[in-house]
Structures are given as C-alpha cells and as structure tokens.
C-alpha cells in the first residue's frame, strides 16, 4: 500500500480543466514582460460590417485601411508595418468577445480598436483588463465605461455621450430659449434611452418646468414612422430631441419633412451629420445639428486646414463617398496609436514597449486631429471639442451644413473625472450658459 | 370607459389612419410568405431578402427613370416594374436551383438552406448597393399630402401612405382571392395546398405549381419592399427586421391563409398605432402579444384548420 494519492482519470481531467484558464490567464498577464520588436504590428479592429450600423462601420473600416496604407507608406510605426484584422460586431457581443480573445491569444494582436456599439465596448473593456491588452475605444459613446471603475488598458480617442448631448442642449438654451414643451423620438436601445435620460437631467437643471408631451422610442431599424410623426404633429411640441442616426434618421427626416413636422417644431439632432449628404436638400434649414465631435467638414477654425482638406479629398477619391464622423473617429484612433507608440518608444530610448509601457503612454496623451488637439484624461477618456450649429443651405454644397457654429470646449461639456454623468448634469447651474462661446457667424 | 373614448376620439381617429397605412405594408410582405408556405410547405427565411432587394431595385429603377428625364409620375409604375423584375428573375432561379432540392426534406434542413440563402443575399445587396442608406422618395413627394382635421387644426398625412399603401394591399387581397377561387391556375394552387398527394395523383404538375407560386410569392415580397422604398431609407438589415414581423403575421393568421393575413396585418397595424398614442412602450411587443393571445386560443391560427395526422 502507498499513501501517495492516486491520480484517477477524472482527477486528471479536472486538473487539466482547471489548468487551462490559468494558462490562458498567464498568457494574457505578461504585460510587463520584455517586448521584442515585432515583424508586423497587428491591429484588431471591431466594427459593424453588416446590418444597419454598417453605415458607420464600413466607412470606419475604409478609413482604417486608408490610415494603415498611409502609415505603412511612411515606414510604419517605429519602423514596423501595420496589419489589420477586422471583426464584424453585428453578430452580437458573444461572438465579439470570442473574436477579441482569439485575436489576442491566437493571432497575437498587439492592440485592439473597439467598437461602434456601446454594448460592444462594455463587453470588450473587461477583456482588455483581463488580457492586459491596450484597447482603443474608437467610436462608441457610452459614458459608463470610465464612470464605473478604472480601465487600465482601455482608452477612448474621442468624446462621449455626455458632451454630445449637453452641447446641443446648451446651444438650444442659449440661442432659442423660449420653448415650453418638448418631445423625444429616440431609437429603443442604450444610446436612445441614455441620451434622453441625460438630456432630461440637464434640461430640468437648467430650464425647469418644460412639459414633455411625448416620449417615443420606436425600435432600432424601424422602416416607417408614420404613427410617431402623426403623434408628434398632434402633440405640437416646441422642440423635438432625437438621437436618431443612419438610415433611421433618413427615414424619420424624409417623412417629417414631407408632413411639415419641421415647420411646426424645432428639431435637435446630435448625430445628424452622417445622414445629411443622403438627405440632400430635403433636410430643412433652421434646425440644431451635431456631429459627435468637432469634425464638420466646414469647421470654421480647423487646427490644420490642409490636413482636413487632404483627408476629405483622399477619402472621396478612394471610396467615392464624403467623409462622415466615423471616418474622423478612426483617423483619431490611428493618430492616438501612433502618438502613443512614438511616446513609448522615446521613453525607452527606441526599444520596443511592452503592453504595460504602451498603456502607460496613452494616459495623458495629446495628439492632433485634422480639426483640433485631443487629450486623453487620467481616466482614459478623450477630451474632444463639440461643434453644434443651425442647419443651412449654401450653393456650394448639395446638402445641409451648419452655420452659426458654437465650438464647445471639451472640458466644459464633459463630466469631470470621478463623477457620474446624470448626477453631474443634475447639478448644473444656469451660469454655465454664460460660459457658452459666441456662435461663429456664417 | 365611454368618457375615455369620447376624450380621445380624435386621437383614435388618427391612430386608425396610421394603422391602415401600416397594415397595408405588413400584409403585402406577409401574404407572399404565407402563400409560399401554404403551397411549398417551406418556411422561406430568404423572403426578407426578396423584400430588401425589391426596395433597392425600386430605388434604382426610379433613379434610372429620373436620369432619363421621365416625369415624376413615372416613379409610381417604376415601383411595380422593379418588383416584377426581382420576382420574375430571382423567384424561378431560387426555386429551380435551391428549393427544388429540399422539398420533402427535414424542416431543419429547409430552414438552414433558406437561412444560408438569406445570408448570401444580404451580402449580395451590400456588394451591389453598398452600406450607405439608399433612398428615392419621388413617388411619395409626387402625390403630396392630405390634411386631416384635428383639434381645430390639421394633421398632414402623405397621400402615398394614406391611399396608395392600403389601396394596393386591398387590390392584392381581392385579386388574390379572385385568382385562387375563380381561375383554373388558382384552383390548381388551392388543390395542391389542400392535398398535395391527391392533387398530384389527379395529374396536376406539382413542380409547375411550385415554380409559379414561389415566383408569385417573390413578386409580392419584392412589391412590399418596392412600395416601402419611397417612404424611408433602404439600409442593410431591413430584410431581417421585416421577416420577423412577417412570421408573426403568418403564425397568427394560420399558415396559408390569405384573408387571415389581411386581418392579422390590420390588427397588428392598428394595435401598434394605438400603442404609440397611448402606451408607447408597448409598441414593439404588440404584434407578439396579439400572436400569443391568438395562438393560446387557436393554436392553428385565426383562419387555420386542424389537420388530421396520418399514420
């Protein structure tokens, strides 16, 4: 007899099963290991390649391809050429999480760029922490990411939902403050619900007593808004807030224009920009429009006008489409990536940074976009200015563009670090309206 | 209760008009799916793709007509021409080369095959029309608006949504009933639907009936898409959204029931519009609440008949 424990087949399997996650964790937990300069810099990019949101996802992919070609033509980053691995977000978060893991653990991707959907970003950021892999949130807007806990490996290279909602609200209160009733028509998903909650919190703090006469949340991708528009026509609100985007906004605006809803109520549309080229002159003048940032192609004071024009010209020449905001967001993500590697390489005297060193380089990073300079705060959130204006028509552009634009400084409209957006919006005081910059005429 | 109706009679009137417009479109898509299932006994998941392609094709034909300098009224026949083209080209191709191989096979296999076809057609749409919204609303703008009096004011409706969509749905419903009951071909289709074995034994060429029915169903799906195109944007993903609602209509109506599809579409259209007015949170689930309520009472659907199981 022996007192050595016997190893049964079942025990062996259980041990192996327990060891696998450990091995996986070990694989993902070597952020501080010595890094070798790779033969190629592998970039995983999650975006919508199918479904309704591909109206943003495919331009984002195209912008990524353009940026990679441009960077590679200039010698790559630190002398290393870039290679992209694209993942479609459309099949859902379960698929996305699996692909994220596969790209990092099997393909050896060095940096992830995720995602368009807020749900996708909320699913990916815990993975960035688990796998200790730098993840640039290139387009999603949810304010929750950096408000619900520290994100050591996730960084957002653009603004977020709170400034995208607050800037149009301040523009409305500053330029057309005499409204007494309002309504909302938002798509029935996270952005639609969250943006209305934030709008309402800010509005009740800055202009209490506004009566909400209709709250409509049609499903995402609804093909028809006949009933909702009739409801709004019957309710006659002074102001209608809508976070609609893509094909949904095109459908809503077409039907609203035909049925003279734009003549009865003032629309506030924070995500209008991407749909305006498709709507052409159907979209009327005199409504408040935003672009999820400051990157209108007619930006009144771009930081680098030549670079903005070059981006517009190159993108249109290659893809035969106008530049819309996801293109700018992807360009910003690659600018952030290059700036972070340059910073990390400089800090190590030219030696290749490991994952932890690369992530450290992102914190407090400043990089240029064609329109401005963006800074990543200590929590990882990007500070991007917001431009809101009134729609107008000019002879040189076959669709509505903004006039009387207000450039809202990012810090003014962004939730301070450590606060929750809705709480912050509820605490706003009317004196914030005194800080709103004057509209730039024209 | 009477007081509530009195207070809200104006809004209920508006909801009725909205419901009719909505029901017309729902019916046109669902009736094709229902017809195909009734005859071929195949749940065609790719029906939504035919709807989407019909919408894209209608916009393309409309834009082409406009480029030829044709007057605005030509955008109306363009919708029907596009639907016929899509149905006549794709219907026989799909039936002959794909569906014919899976008749009588396991339902799971049939579902998988039509689902695969649906996925392929989704990508084909992106290859041809891209991912940016496509729109061509000349037909809707050409017909203008119709003002409905409400509370001392007017509420403008588009004449297209108020008259064309329900009108075409009514014509299709009556035409289909007449075709199925009064013509030889229609009666042959009904015979195959009722008892395929007996019909075949009596010399009916079931293959020809299948081809004809599927092509007709494809035209109806494409017509639904084409008629929806002037009112909104056509984007990737409109097919799946349509097919889910169509399945709810078909299940509620009873498989293979044309009049049932019309009544169900009307119930869903009205239910949804009344929900938007009085309880907007319920709008999305109304079709499925109606479906559940009907199926709990009549598992075979509103107009469906129970079939004897053969052993």
Residue B94 three-state SS: helix
Q: What is the 3-state secondary structure (H, E, C) of A154-173?
A: EEECCCCHHHHHHHHHHHHH
Instruction: Establish, for the pair of chains A and B, how many residue pairs have beta carbons separated by less than 8 Å.
Output: 135
Determine whether the interchain pair A224/B231 forms a contact, defined as Cβ–Cβ distance below 8 Å: yes
Contact across the interface for B235 and A258, Cβ inside 8 Å: no
B134 SS3 class: strand
Q: In A, which residues are within 8 Å of B141 by CB distance?
A: 258
Residue intervals in chain A for CATH 3.40.50.2300: 40-159+303-376, 162-291+385-435
Tens place of pLDDT per residue across chain A (442 aa): 333 334 444 444 444 444 444 444 444 456 777 778 999 999 999 999 887 788 899 999 999 999 999 999 999 999 999 999 999 998 889 999 999 999 999 999 999 999 998 889 999 999 999 999 999 999 999 999 999 999 999 999 999 999 999 999 999 999 999 999 999 999 988 899 999 999 999 999 999 999 999 999 998 878 789 899 999 999 999 999 999 988 889 889 999 999 999 999 999 999 999 999 989 999 999 999 999 999 998 999 999 999 999 999 999 999 999 999 999 999 999 999 999 999 999 999 999 999 999 999 999 999 999 999 999 999 999 999 999 999 999 999 999 999 999 999 999 999 999 999 999 999 999 999 999 999 997 6
pLDDT of the residue at A253: 94
Which CATH number fits the domain B19-297, given the four candidates 1.10.3470, 1.20.1630, 2.170.120, 1.20.120?
1.10.3470
The answer to whether A258 contacts chain B (CB < 8 Å) is yes
Interface contact A233, partner B, CB < 8 A: yes
Nearest to A223 among B236, B238, B277 (CB): B238
* A259–B277 CB contact, under 8 Å: no
For A223, which of B15, B158, B241 is closest by C-beta distance? B241
Sketch the domain layout of chain B as residue ranges.
19-297
**Cα B86 to the chain's mean position, in Å?**
15
Taking contacts as CB-CB distances below 8 angstroms, the residues of chain A near B22 are 224, 226-227
| A427 phi, psi to nearest 5 deg | -90, 0
Instruction: Pick from B25, B162, B235 the residue to mutate for testing the A interface (most A CBs within 10 Å).
Output: B235
**Residue-level pLDDT at B29:** 86
Name the CATH code of domain A162-291+385-435 (choices 3.30.930.10, 3.40.50.10680, 3.40.50.2300, 3.30.70.3420).
3.40.50.2300
For residue A139, the SS3 value is coil
Please check whether residue B125 touches A, CB under 8 A: no
Sequence-distant (6+) residues with CB within 8 A of A398 are A277, A280, A281
Where residue B37 falls among pLDDT bands split at 50, 70, 90? Answer: confident
CA distances from B239 to A52, A117, B82, B123, B225 (A): 10, 21, 17, 12, 9
pLDDT tens digits for A98-117?
A: 999 999 999 999 999 999 98
**Region for residue B165 given its phi and psi (left: phi exceeds 0; alpha: psi -120 to 50; beta: otherwise):** alpha
Nearest CB partner across the interface for B233, out of A51, A250, A260: A250
Of A58, A230, A282, the CB nearest to B18: A230
Q: Are A167 and A386 contacting, i.e. CB atoms less than 8 angstroms apart?
A: yes
Chain B residues close to A233, C-beta within 8 Å: 155-156
- Mutation target to probe the B interface, by most B beta carbons within 10 A, among A57, A230, A284 is A230
Subunit contact B236:A52, Cβ cutoff 8 A: yes
DSSP three-state, residue A78: coil
**Cα separation, A162 vs A199, whole angstroms:** 9
Chain A: residue whose CA lies nearest to B224: A223
Which residues of chain B are within 8 Å of residue A227 when distances are taken between CB atoms?
A: 15, 18-19, 22, 272-273, 276-277
- Measured distance CA(B226)–CA(B170) in Å, rounded: 16
pLDDT digits (tens, 9 = 90+) for A342-373: 999 999 999 999 999 999 999 999 999 999 99
- Answer yes or no: do B131 and A250 touch at CB < 8 A: no
**A250 vs B contacts (CB less than 8 Å):** 133, 135, 232-233
Q: How far apart are CA A423 and CA A414, in angstroms?
A: 12
3-state SS assignment for residue B41: coil
Q: Does B175 touch chain A (CB under 8 A)?
A: no
Task: Choose among B236, B225, B279, B254: nearest CA to B128.
Answer: B236
Chain B residues close to A282, C-beta within 8 Å: 137
For an interface test with B, the pick among A226, A236, A251, A255 (most B C-beta atoms closer than 10 Å) comes out as A226
- Topology (CATH level 3) of domain A40-159+303-376: Rossmann fold (3.40.50)
Q: Which residue has the tokens 């056509």?
A: B234
Euclidean distance between CA atoms A43 and A86, whole angstroms: 8
Q: Chain B residues with CB inside 8 Å of A223's CB? A: 25, 228, 231-232, 238, 241-242
A31, A359 in Cβ contact below 8 A? yes
What are the tokens at B246?
């169509």
ipTM of the complex: 0.83
Are A166 and A241 in contact, with CB atoms under 8 Å apart? no
φ/ψ of A211, rounded to 5, equals -90, 125
pLDDT of residue A234: 94
How far is the alpha carbon of A384 from chain B, nearest alpha carbon, in Å? 26
Distance CA A238, CA A266 (A): 6
Nearest to B29 by CA among B196, B253, B208, B295: B253
In this prediction, residue A63 carries a pLDDT of: 98
Decide if B63 touches A, using CB distance below 8 A.
no
pLDDT computed for residue B231 by the predictor: 86
Q: Sort out which chain B residues have CB atoms less than 8 A from A234's CB and list them.
A: 10-11, 14, 150-151, 155
**Chain centroid, CA B278 distance in Å:** 27
C-alpha span between A268 and A160 (Å, rounded): 18
Residue A25: predicted pLDDT: 42
Which chain A residues are Cβ-neighbours of B17 within 8 angstroms? 230
Query: Which B-chain residues 290-309 have CB contacts (< 8 A) with chain A?
Result: none
Give the residue from B10, B17, B265, B280 with the most A CB atoms within 10 Å of its CB, the best one to mutate. Answer: B280
Q: How far is A164 from chain B (nearest CA, A)?
A: 23
pLDDT in tens, B81-95: 999 999 999 999 999
Angle, alpha carbons A364-A367-A372 (nearest 5°): 120
- Give the residue from chain A lying closest to B139, CA to CA: A258
**Strand ranges, E, within B82-228:** 145-150, 153-158
Give the pLDDT confidence score for residue B244 in this predicted structure. 84
Nearest chain B residue to A62 by CA distance is B131
Asked if B228 and A321 come within 8 Å (Cβ–Cβ), the reply is no
Q: Does B110 touch chain A (CB under 8 A)?
A: no
Name residues 235-254 of chain B within 8 A of A (Cβ). 235-238, 241-242
Q: Do B280 and A216 touch (CB under 8 A)?
A: yes
Task: Write down the residue that tokens 């033969």 correspond to.
Answer: A39
CB contact under 8 A, B145 and A258: yes
User: Is residue B12 scored above 50 in pLDDT?
Assistant: yes
Task: Determine the Cα–Cα distance for residues A138 and A131; give it in Å rounded to an integer.
Answer: 19
């Amino acid at each position: 007899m022996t007192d050595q424990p016997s190893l049964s087949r079942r025990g062996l399997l259980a041990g192996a099963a327990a060891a696998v996650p450990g091995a996986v964790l070990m694989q993902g937990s070597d952020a501080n290991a010595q890094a070798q300069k790779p033969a190629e810099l592998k970039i995983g990019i999650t975006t919508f390649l199918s479904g309704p949101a591909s109206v943003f996802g495919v331009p984002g992919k195209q912008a990524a391809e353009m940026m990679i070609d441009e960077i590679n033509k200039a010698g790559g980053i630190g002398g290393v050429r870039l290679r992209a691995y694209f993942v479609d977000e459309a099949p859902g978060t379960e698929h996305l999480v699996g692909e994220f893991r596969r790209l990092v653990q099997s393909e050896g991707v060095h940096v992830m760029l995720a995602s368009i959907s807020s749900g996708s970003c909320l699913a990916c950021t815990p993975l960035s922490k688990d796998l200790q892999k730098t993840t640039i949130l290139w387009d999603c807007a949810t304010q929750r990411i950096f408000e619900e806990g520290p994100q050591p490996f996730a960084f957002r290279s653009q603004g977020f939902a709170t400034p995208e909602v607050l800037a149009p609200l301040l523009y409305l209160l500053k330029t057309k403050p005499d409204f007494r009733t309002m309504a909302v028509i938002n798509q029935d998903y996270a952005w639609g619900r969250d943006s209305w909650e934030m709008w309402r919190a800010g509005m009740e703090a800055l202009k209490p007593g506004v009566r909400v006469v209709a709250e409509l949340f049609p499903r995402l991708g609804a093909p028809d808004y006949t009933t909702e528009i009739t409801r709004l026509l019957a309710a006659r609100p002074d102001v209608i807030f809508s976070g609609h985007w893509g094909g949904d906004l095109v459908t809503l605006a077409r039907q609203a224009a035909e049925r003279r809803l734009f003549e009865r109520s003032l629309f506030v549309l924070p995500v209008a920009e991407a749909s305006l080229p498709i709507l052409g002159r159907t979209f009327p003048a005199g409504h408040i429009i935003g672009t999820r940032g400051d990157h209108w192609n007619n930006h009144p004071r771009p930081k680098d006008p030549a670079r903005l024009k070059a981006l517009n010209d190159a993108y249109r020449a290659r893809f035969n489409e106008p530049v819309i905001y996801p293109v700018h967001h992807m360009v910003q993500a690659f600018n952030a990536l290059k700036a972070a590697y340059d910073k990390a390489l400089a800090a190590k005297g030219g030696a290749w940074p490991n994952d932890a060193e690369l992530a450290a380089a992102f914190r407090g990073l400043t990089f240029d976009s064609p329109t401005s300079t963006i800074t990543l705060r200590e929590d990882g959130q990007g500070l991007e200015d917001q431009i809101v204006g009134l729609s107008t028509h000019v002879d040189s552009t076959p669709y509505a563009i903004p006039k009387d634009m207000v450039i809202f400084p990012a810090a003014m409209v962004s939730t301070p670090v450590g606060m929750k957006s809705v709480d912050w919006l509820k605490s706003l005081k009317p004196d914030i309206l005194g800080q709103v910059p004057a509209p730039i005429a024209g | 209760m009477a007081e509530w109706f009195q207070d809200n009679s104006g809004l209920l009137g508006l909801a009725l008009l909205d419901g009719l417009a909505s029901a017309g479109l729902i019916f046109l898509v669902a009736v094709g799916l229902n017809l195909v299932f009734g005859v071929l006994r195949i749940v065609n998941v790719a029906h939504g793709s035919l709807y989407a392609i019909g919408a894209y094709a209608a916009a393309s034909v409309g834009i082409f007509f406009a480029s030829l300098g044709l007057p605005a009224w030509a955008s109306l026949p363009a919708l029907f021409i596009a639907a016929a083209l899509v149905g006549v080209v794709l219907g026989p191709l799909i039936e002959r080369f794909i569906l014919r191989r899976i008749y009588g096979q396991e339902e799971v296999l049939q579902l998988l095959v039509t689902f695969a076809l649906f996925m392929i057609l989704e990508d084909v749409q992106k290859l041809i029309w891209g991912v940016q919204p496509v729109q061509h609303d000349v037909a809707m703008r050409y017909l203008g608006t119709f003002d409905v009096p409400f509370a001392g004011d007017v509420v403008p409706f588009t004449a297209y949504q108020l008259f064309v969509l329900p009108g075409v749905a009514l014509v299709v419903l009556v035409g289909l009933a007449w075709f199925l009951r009064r013509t030889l071909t229609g009666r042959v289709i009904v015979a195959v639907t009722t008892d395929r074995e007996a019909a075949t034994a009596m010399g009916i060429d079931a293959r020809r009936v299948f081809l004809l029915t599927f092509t007709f169903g494809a035209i109806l799906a494409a017509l639904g898409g084409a008629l929806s195109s002037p009112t909104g944007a056509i984007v990737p993903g409109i097919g799946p959204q349509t097919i889910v609602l169509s399945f709810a209509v078909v299940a509620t109506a009873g498989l293979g029931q044309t009049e049932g599809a019309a009544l169900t579409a009307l119930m869903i259209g009205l239910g949804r519009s009344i929900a938007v007015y009085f309880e907007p949170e319920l709008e999305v689930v109304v079709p499925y609440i109606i479906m559940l309520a009907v199926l709990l009472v009549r598992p075979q659907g509103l107009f469906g008949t129970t079939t004897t199981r053969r052993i």
